[in-house]
Each structure stands twice: as structure tokens, then as C-alpha cells.
């Protein structure tokens, strides 16, 4: 039975990269898969968080998922802390994963920066917790943006090493699902940088909470080059900012980049940006409005998380027990 797991960190506002790279695909996949969508608060604390902000952001991110179209009657929505199995399985997998494998993780290198010895141990083993999230439910598919690909390869290595160390065929080799035109949305200020919650400039990203005039302003100020839009995708190659805006338009309009260029070839970016604003506002406004409505009803959102927790626990429990038996921690 195919099963999907994916997660998002409650560290500030969700942005267009999260939406186009991941969450919109999560919504679509609900039709054909059993899905678990998790607000990964344990991942968030691998870097310092303000406790009050973290609690608030967990509810807000859950509300964003619902507002974007995750249906809690169909999919399981919960936060990681509530299912203790994530941390318990992570420990077993920490004893399987090798230091050499973690040393290759590019996201750790980026996040830890130059002062690596001062990074938390949690940040270092973060990808192992991610593997535990997925394997705790024996998920077969994981929809993510491009930036998580290396972590999912590690998850397969860990599953394989566990199976072979104990001579079992227990954990699945999970497949990443990296779908759509916008698998890596870039900053609006710098085409070489990923759109990210942690960028100091709010002009680098479009947040799901931005009102239409803010979206318009951010797109108007987005960096571009002086040339008009080209005819072919190949000509976007050395124009990262132009490529990013065309990619965002294509993803929002559910088209491919070539068909967008066929329509706008020769147009100036000032014109194209106006059209891009229209499609961005048309897509995001209903989500923003629904988010506002849900945040005014925290009892409902908390109820969804509670219900999701109960369902997630009942799936996780037998897998964790079985893993503990395989390792020899529990009597069979
Ligand atoms: P996080 O919270 O950074 O991002 C959530 C999802 O959004 C995608 N994403 C992007 N996609 C395209 N362009 C961008 N600029 C962009 N920025 C973010 C991410 O790829 C992700 O799919 N480690 C994960 C959370 C996690 C997880 C898991 C995911 C924890 N456990 C298990 C899958 C399975 C993270 O930090 O995502």
C-alpha cells in the first residue's frame, strides 16, 4: 500500500517556495495516497527558537496546510512532538547511520557555516530524525522540494543498512517525489540563492500571508536583467532571475516554461511582472483568507492536530515495537 509522509518546519511564515515545491503537491497527492503531513517542531529546535514563537508557529503552519487544501478528514495532520516514536526511532537509526554519511550533508554545512564546532548536535543528526519520521510509518513516497533530495538518499541508505545488518526486509526504500515546474524557487533578490524563511530580506520571498499590494510590490522590485523575455528555455540558462520568474509563473498557472515563453517572448519584464502578480494574487488570496479564518478558530486547528496525533500514533506504534524487537530491545 503506497503511503506518503512529508514535513514542514514551524519556523516563521510559509512562502511561495514551500507552497510550489511541496505543499501544493501534498494537496494533489491526497487523492491517490494515504498521506501523513507533519509539522516538524523537533527539527525546528535544532537551531535556537523563541519558545513562545515556536508554539504559535506550530499552530499557524498547521492552519496554512489546511488553508492550502489539506483535508484533515482524509490526510493525517499532526505535530512531531506528539508522537514520541519519532524521537525513539531516531535513536535506533542514529546507531545505524555513519558519521561519514552525515559529513557529506550539504545542508548541514550551509546551516552550520564556518563555526561548525558550535552547531548543535541536533543539527548534525537532523537528517537521521528525518529518516525516522519517514520510516516510522514505512512511508513509500516523500514529496519534497529539490533541497531535500540528499536527505532522502540518506534515508534509503539508513533503511538499507538496517535491513542488511539485521537480515530483514523491514524498512522500505522510500522514493522522493520532486514534482512540478518549481522544485527550487529562488530568492526574488538573488537568483543564486534559494527562497528561504531565514533570509534577512522579506523582499526575497512571497509569504502565504502577504496581502495583494505587498505581493505586487515584491514582484515589482524583484531583480531581473535588462533584456526582454526570450523565445526558448535554453536562453534562460544564464539568466537566473529571469528563469526564476518564468518558472514561478509557469508553476502558478500550471503550465510549462516553454508555453509561457511562447506567449511572452519579446515582452518587457515590467509587463510580465504585472501578469505574474495577477496569477500570484489569484492563487494566494484565497489561501490567505482561509488562513485568517482558521487562525481565528484555534480550537478547531488544535482539534485537527489532536485527531491527527491519535491516528499517527496508532500507525507508528506497531512499527516502532517491531523495530525494537528486531534490534533485540524487546522480547518477541
Ligand atoms: P522545510 O520546512 O525547509 O520546507 C518544507 C518543504 O518546502 C520545500 N521548500 C522549497 N521548495 C522549492 N523551493 C524552495 N525555495 C523551497 N524551500 C523549501 C522543502 O523542500 C520541503 O519539502 N527537513 C524538512 C522537513 C522534514 C521532512 C521530514 C520532509 C522533516 N522531516 C520528512 C520530508 C520528510 C525541511 O526542513 O523542510
CATH number for the domain harbouring residue 150? 3.40.50.620
Averaged pLDDT for residues 251-263: 96
Ligand 1 pocket test, candidate residues 6, 7, 132, most atoms within 8 A of CB: 7
| pLDDT of res. 1 | 76
Examine the domain organization and report whether 281 and 320 are in the same domain: no
Neighbours of 278 (CB within 10 A): 17
User: Under DSSP, is residue 141 helix (H, G, I), strand (E, B) or coil?
Assistant: strand
Examine the domain organization and report whether 285 and 162 are in the same domain: no
The reply to whether 12 falls in a domain is yes
Count of the separate structural domains present in the chain: 2
pTM score, whole prediction: 0.97
Averaged pLDDT for residues 146-155: 98
> How many angstroms separate the alpha carbon of residue 227 from the centre of ligand 1?
33
> How many angstroms separate the alpha carbon of residue 104 from the centre of ligand 1?
19
User: What percent of the chain has a predicted confidence (pLDDT) above 70?
Assistant: 100
Examine the domain organization and report whether 145 and 83 are in the same domain: yes
What's the pLDDT band for 146 if we cut at 50, 70, 90?
Answer: very high
The reply to whether 239 falls in a domain is yes
Q: Which of 56, 138, 194, 221 is catalytic?
A: 194
Examine the domain organization and report whether 154 and 206 are in the same domain: no
| 197 labelled catalytic | yes
Examine the domain organization and report whether 135 and 234 are in the same domain: no
Q: Which distant-in-sequence residues (6+ apart) come within 8 Å of 46 by Cβ? A: 120, 122, 123, 126
User: What percent of the chain has a predicted confidence (pLDDT) above 90?
Assistant: 98
> How many angstroms separate the alpha carbon of residue 19 from the centre of ligand 1?
10
Pocket of ligand 1 (CB under 6 A): 5-9, 17-18, 21-22, 40, 43, 130, 133-134, 142, 144-145, 147-148, 183-185, 194-195
- Pick from 255, 153, 186: which is nearest to 21 by CA? 186
What's the pLDDT band for 12 if we cut at 50, 70, 90?
Answer: confident
The reply to whether 197 falls in a domain is no
- Pick from 320, 304, 269, 290: which is nearest to 138 by CA? 320
Amino acid at each position: 500500500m503506497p503511503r506518503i509522509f512529508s514535513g514542514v518546519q514551524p519556523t516563521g511564515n510559509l512562502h511561495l517556495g514551500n507552497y510550489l515545491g511541496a505543499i501544493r503537491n501534498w494537496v494533489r497527492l491526497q487523492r491517490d495516497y494515504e498521506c501523513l503531513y507533519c509539522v516538524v517542531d523537533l527539527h525546528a529546535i535544532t537551531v535556537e527558537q523563541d519558545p513562545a514563537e515556536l508554539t504559535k508557529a506550530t499552530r499557524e503552519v498547521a492552519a496554512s496546510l489546511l488553508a492550502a487544501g489539506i483535508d484533515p478528514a482524509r490526510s493525517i495532520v499532526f505535530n512531531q512532538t506528539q508522537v514520541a516514536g519519532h524521537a525513539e526511532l531516531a535513536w535506533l537509526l542514529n546507531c545505524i547511520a555513519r558519521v561519514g554519511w552525515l559529513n557529506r550533508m550539504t545542508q548541514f554545512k550551509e546551516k552550520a557555516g564556518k563555526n561548525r564546532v558550535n552547531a548543535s548536535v541536533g543539527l548534525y543528526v537532523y537528517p537521521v530524525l528525518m529518516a525516522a519520521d519517514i520510516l516510522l510509518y514505512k512511508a513509500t513516497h516523500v514529496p519534497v522540494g529539490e533541497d531535500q533530495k540528499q536527505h532522502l538518499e540518506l534515508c534509503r541508505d539508513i533503511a538499507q543498512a538496517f535491513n542488511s545488518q539485521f537480515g530483514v526486509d523491514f524498512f522500505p526504500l522510500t522514493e522522493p517525489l520532486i514534482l512540478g515546474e518549481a522544485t527550487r524557487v529562488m530568492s526574488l533578490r538573488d537568483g543564486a540563492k534559494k527562497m528561504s524563511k531565514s533570509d534577512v530580506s522579506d523582499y526575497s520571498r512571497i509569504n502565504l500571508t502577504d496581502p495583494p499590494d505587498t505581493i505586487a510590490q515584491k514582484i515589482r522590485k524583484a531583480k531581473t536583467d535588462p533584456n526582454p523575455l526570450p523565445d526558448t528555455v535554453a536562453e534562460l540558462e544564464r539568466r537566473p532571475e529571469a528563469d526564476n520568474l518564468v518558472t514561478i509563473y509557469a508553476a502558478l498557472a500550471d503550465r510549462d516554461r516553454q508555453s509561457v515563453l511562447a506567449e511572452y517572448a519579446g515582452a518587457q519584464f515590467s509587463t510580465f511582472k504585472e501578469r505574474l502578480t495577477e496569477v500570484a494574487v489569484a492563487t494566494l488570496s484565497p489561501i490567505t483568507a482561509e488562513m485568517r479564518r482558521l487562525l481565528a478558530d484555534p480550537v478547531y486547528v488544535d482539534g485537527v492536530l489532536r485527531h491527527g496525533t491519535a491516528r499517527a500514533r496508532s500507525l507508528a506504534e506497531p512499527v516502532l515495537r517491531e523495530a525494537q524487537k528486531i534490534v533485540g530491545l524487546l522480547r518477541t
